[in-house]
Amino acid sequence: MKTLYSQLPAIDSLLRDPAMQPLLLQSGTAFTTRQLRAMQQEARTHIQQHQTLPGWHLNWPEEAQRRAQQQQQSALRPVFNLTGTVLHTNLGRAQLSARAIEAVTACLRQPVTLEYALDDASRGHRDRAVSALLCELTGAEAACIVNNNAAAVLLMLAALAPGREVIVSRGELVEIGGAFRIPDVMRQAGCQLVEVGTTNRTHLKDYRAGISDNSGLLMKVHTSNYQIQGFTHAVAEAELVALAAQHQLPVITDLGSGSLIDMTAFHLPAEPMPQQLIAAGVDLVSFSGDKLLGGPQAGIIVGKQALIDRLQQHPLKRALRVDKMTLAALEATLQLYRQPETLREALPTLRLLTRSPHEILQQAERLMPALEHAYGADFSLNIAACSSQIGSGSLPVERLPSFAITFSPRESHGSSLDALAQRWRALSQPVIGRIQEGRLWLDLRCLEDEAALIRTLTT
């Protein structure tokens, strides 16, 4: 044992080793020293437990370099999203447009007028530029921006109905990812939930019966991540607005995904739009920035000026406000909506959602020869029709026709799909597919850089 311990090199001698110089230049003396000390302790533990030196002891510089690269690698790594889910929550949802990326970069390189009014050199409001665009696009009187739609719902409830009753249909008491539940948010905001109607059918008379002297507002929640079908009934926003007006109550709507365009114009399923609800008289409408809108994570609230003013003045607004990068990306994204004729190509989310099955099939045919050459010995590769989904709770039952390249193990080789998927996740740019029906599927709907995928999977 003592002989093994004596074979461990001293830190000083390792730092003088010429082979260690690249790591010293790249990472500095302090980092390299900490790395070597950790390796030295690991080696001592290995000797104590196994009575042998670790396998890497003959090449400390190379092992130190490998570990340094691993530690310094970003936790937010670019991946190939071949899951078939366009707005994949775990993979970052919407990809930003080139214009939005440029806007974020520009605001990081120099001071910007985040809260500075150039006309009179006074302190301005950070939501101002984005608010003007949102009002133009939705017809609302004013707008408020927070860090996500959950925050938007919390702020609306806390600012407008603290200690009061909020009336919601039982069929709209949604739960989204991460256990965000409408009843829980109600409690956090200091509101009392009043459920009306039934799971599948709620009528105007149910809302009317639920109104009391302690009612604070009426709330609609778009069931964006599930659908109730069959014997159903829901109250239209315009009817609810008319009822609320009789009792001097505001109506708010949590729209969830939110789309500023008519999706059917792009041969996609219909989704309610904020401008439709504003036109119907809804007082406040909230929706997400990083779902169907195709921008950064944000919670967007549009509606009546007087109510937006109350939101802006509430203490929670400061805690939930967004930074300059989000505002820059959101403003640039909204600018794209001013040019609907070029929106499909300029906005990655819309571009990916509207790819034709024929285009995706042709892409699969181009990729097959290289992938078969690299993997054909161990796997049977095929092109298969499949269905993509929009994701992030948007249009949950709707599917988009697509094509995938599938990998099935050849029985004689005993290759494992799990092992293949794990190997792809360990690549410099991980490739994320899905295992289903005994095959590993690479849905190509979200693949735009074919050459990069081939390089990644075949080198």
Per-residue pLDDT tens for 185-217?
Answer: 888 889 999 999 888 889 999 999 999 999 999
Do 159 and 314 contact (CB within 8 A), yes or no? Answer: yes
Residue 170 CB burial class (10 angstroms; 0-12, 13-18, ≥19): middle
246-260: b or e for each residue (b if 16 or more CB lie within 10 Å)?
A: eeebbbbbbbbbbbb
- With vertex at residue 157, the alpha carbon angle to CA 260 and CA 244, rounded to the nearest 5 degrees, is 75
Q: How far apart are CA 435 and CA 406, in angstroms?
A: 9
The pLDDT assigned to 332 comes to 97
Residues forming beta bridges with residue 194, ordered by sequence position: 167
The pLDDT assigned to 222 comes to 85
175-201: b or e for each residue (b if 16 or more CB lie within 10 Å)?
A: ebeeeeebeebbeebebebbbbbeeee
pTM: 0.88
The pLDDT assigned to 232 comes to 77
Bin 159: left if φ > 0, else alpha if -120 < ψ < 50, else beta: alpha
Q: In degrees to the nearest 10, what's the CA dihedral of 95, 96, 98, 100?
A: 180
Closest by Cα among 280, 201, 285 to 235: 201
* Token reading at 185: 């948010």
pLDDT tens string for the chain (459 positions)?
668 888 999 999 999 999 999 999 999 999 999 999 999 999 999 999 999 999 998 899 999 999 998 888 888 899 999 999 999 999 999 999 999 999 999 999 999 999 888 888 888 889 988 999 999 999 999 999 999 999 999 999 999 999 999 999 988 887 766 567 888 888 888 999 999 988 888 999 999 999 999 999 999 998 766 667 777 788 899 999 999 999 999 999 999 888 999 988 888 888 889 999 999 999 999 999 999 999 999 999 999 999 999 999 999 999 999 999 999 999 999 999 999 999 999 999 999 999 999 999 999 999 999 999 999 999 999 999 999 999 866 555 578 999 999 999 987 555 689 999 999 999 989 999 999 999 999 999 999 999 999 999 998
Do 197 and 170 contact (CB within 8 A), yes or no? Answer: yes
